[in-house]
Amino acid sequence: MIETLAQLRALYAAPAERAQKKQQPQLDAHCQRFIALSPFCVLASAGAAPGALLDASPRGGLPGFARTPDAHTVLLPDAGGNNRLDTLTNLLADPRIGMLFIIPGVDETLRVNGTARLRDEAALTDLFAATGQRPRLVIEVRVAEAYLHCSKAFMRSRLWQPGAQQDRAVLPSMNQMIHDQMGLATPPETAAAMAERYRAQLALEQQPGTPP
């Protein structure tokens, strides 16, 4: 078992100079362009309660759904979800945040770390109203670290390759799995009905000025 940094480092070569120096304290033009093209990111957060686990949450929208008004800021609108508010609750207790931006078809990713504030002022929520549903709040991230991550993980996984895609039928519907996990006896919503419900919700989000 590895229990010390010395033991861990003994298993690996020292990082190359390029890997160490590529980290930046702000978003340069390449990072801002990457975020502008990205329709998807994963947010990592941590609660402050003793023993609290970390959380990773997917966020998505049309390319450019996250904005970079300057080299030190990312604005991420909070879209409708399951209302557990895991990420938002964590950020209230601990403002540290990590983001991984992904562009379909591009094997490289962009990692951005910093601190977040939850902003509900109209000056910020109005920025996203014209392209769809006005968010209840915007996650404002103050960037502390940004760096491009190499393509090896996506190359190994063949994530964007058509031959690597799985037929959705290899798993039960999400509703069936949740029913099984909860031990419910009622018939679950069908996958087709769930998809239609989601499509209706997403279509409503695209109507400017629609209440959240």
Q: Are residues 78 and 172 in the same domain?
A: no
Integer Cα distance of 197 and 171 in angstroms: 20
Q: What is the pTM of this model?
A: 0.89
Task: Write out the chain's pLDDT in tens, 212 residues.
Answer: 999 999 999 999 998 888 888 899 999 999 999 999 999 999 999 987 778 889 999 999 999 999 999 999 999 999 877 888 999 999 999 999 999 999 999 999 999 999 999 999 999 999 988 766 789 999 999 999 999 999 999 999 999 999 999 998 898 888 888 888 999 888 888 878 877 887 777 777 666 555 44
Integer Cα distance of 203 and 82 in angstroms: 17
Q: Which position has the token pair 């390759």?
A: 161
Q: Is 117 a member of any domain?
A: yes
Q: Are residues 200 and 98 in the same domain?
A: no
Structure tokens at 107: 């094997």
State the CATH number of the domain containing residue 28: 2.30.110.10
pLDDT for res 197: 81
pLDDT for res 50: 79
**Domain count across the chain:** 2
- pLDDT tens string 125-138: 999 887 667 899 99
Q: Is 45 a member of any domain?
A: yes
Q: Are residues 94 and 138 in the same domain?
A: yes
- pLDDT tens string 155-181: 999 999 999 999 988 988 888 888 889
Give the domain extent around 49.
21-157
